[in-house]
Structure 1
């Protein structure tokens, strides 16, 4: 994987590639609570554009310091004094980064801790799996700051928790944490120990899947959610036709047929 590290040079992200194909990506602006400035967004665009073509089989998205991401870098935003058109184009780059993350076909597991706030929640919601630890809290404080979401919360966060809950978070500053955050759908896992350790475990498990199968799971499902049920049924059949007949699956199917494959157990998760 050294060629990957030679190809990708980041300032605000740290990248560690493992032999099993798991990439560990660390947001590295801890003094800013990993707030997302324009430069970090450009690095995320490059990362998620490159990963599927450079052998990534799964990714862990984590952060340096005590917080996952505090959202838009408000100091940069204030100092830049952007025009409406400039900020619109910045938002489009956020969408570019997060769309490549969600639709790129490589499983992304987010290891959450501390603040997952505003644009940080938009970033986390673009991951395929989210793991929260005991310190994690979620908020959309845009209403109190005179702002509106611009990185996809109206699409992904509303999809996770419902329109009414998202509006409540923005209007009132409501903060979710603990089991309540899991119950409303902001994360799939909550651990008392390290969210990174759990995320790495899940990414390692996902990386053992066939890449084409993971691509379908982490790209096709999102596309199908944007279709009518009639069109989604057609698309699902086409994707299943391609994925379920891939030559690389024959060995796994044979192992199931001759009863040497692992069986699904109730404690497997």
Structure 2
């Protein structure tokens, strides 16, 4: 597939995926979502960690409403009603794929853009960020997994407030409500994301996979079932590389935890 709306670059073991529609504030269309799926899957094969960012001043202004309106008027649907939304497939490849992702956020992070950001395991927001969920004003409901991911991050009451009143949050406010874990000065989000991704790369790959795929599922379970799955995951994660890392620790070699 020719990259038109999504850029892909490999920096060592880190894949950088950029939404490249700066003239549209990186609004998401079905074509962008389709390219994102390909890029995320490619990153899972080629890299040990990934970064998602937006070219230009903004991360993503959400759904491309002009494109959606034109298609609806023409009677065109992006997907068969029996199939999953392309955003679900693409975002799942990020949220529960083989490698962890960092989202480097700047400018507007609203609607589908916020849903995409919340698919990443780590989110870094610079202080230009505005978080929002304004879909109801246009007669639209979240469709990129946000009713699950965002609601589990911030809770029903806060998400309902953002959707019903179109309340926006600053980077610092969003950090206080789990929409991001790091806040940096304007223009510094991508650099911080690179720093965090480099730390992820130092981890054992199977451990990263377990954190991305098993940890959120444990969160979905009851107490006893969660402990059972934790025990299974703990045994599953131990492999040859674990033994090698333990030998490195004993010999004071390899990556070190500095606290």
TM-score, length basis structure 2: 0.92
Structure 2 unaligned blocks of 5 or more: none
Judging changes above 3 Å, is the alpha-carbon distance between structure 1 residues 88 and 167 closer, same or farther for their aligned structure 2 residues?
farther
Residues in 1 aligned to 2:250 and 2:138: alpha-carbon distance in whole angstroms: 59
Judging changes above 3 Å, is the alpha-carbon distance between structure 1 residues 24 and 158 closer, same or farther for their aligned structure 2 residues?
same
1:240 corresponds in structure 2 to: 234
RMSD of aligned Cα (Å): 2.1
1:28 corresponds in structure 2 to: 20
Aligned 8 A contact 2:202 2:255 in 1? no
Aligned residues: 256
Aligned 8 A contact 2:79 2:85 in 1? no
1:182 corresponds in structure 2 to: 175
Judging changes above 3 Å, is the alpha-carbon distance between structure 1 residues 110 and 154 closer, same or farther for their aligned structure 2 residues?
same
User: Does residue 139 of structure 1 match 2:157?
Assistant: no
TM-score, length basis structure 1: 0.88
Deviation at 1:148, TM superposition (A): 1.1
User: Does residue 218 of structure 1 match 2:209?
Assistant: no
1:209 corresponds in structure 2 to: 203
Map 1:249-264; keep pairs closer than 5 Å. Answer: 249-259=242-252, 264=257
What are the Cα deviations for residues 192-240 of structure 1, in whole angstroms up to 9, with x where unaligned? Answer: 1410000011011101211111111111112222333332222221111
Deviation at 1:89, TM superposition (A): 6.1
Residues in 2 aligned to 1:262 and 1:18: alpha-carbon distance in whole angstroms: 20
Aligned 8 A contact 1:58 1:206 in 2? yes
2:221 corresponds in structure 1 to: 227
Structure 1 unaligned blocks of 5 or more: 1-7
1:200 corresponds in structure 2 to: 194
Moved over 6 A (4+): none
Deviates more, 1:195-204 or 1:144-153: 144-153
Map 1:63-74; keep pairs closer than 5 Å. Answer: 63-74=54-65
Residues in 2 aligned to 1:239 and 1:51: alpha-carbon distance in whole angstroms: 24
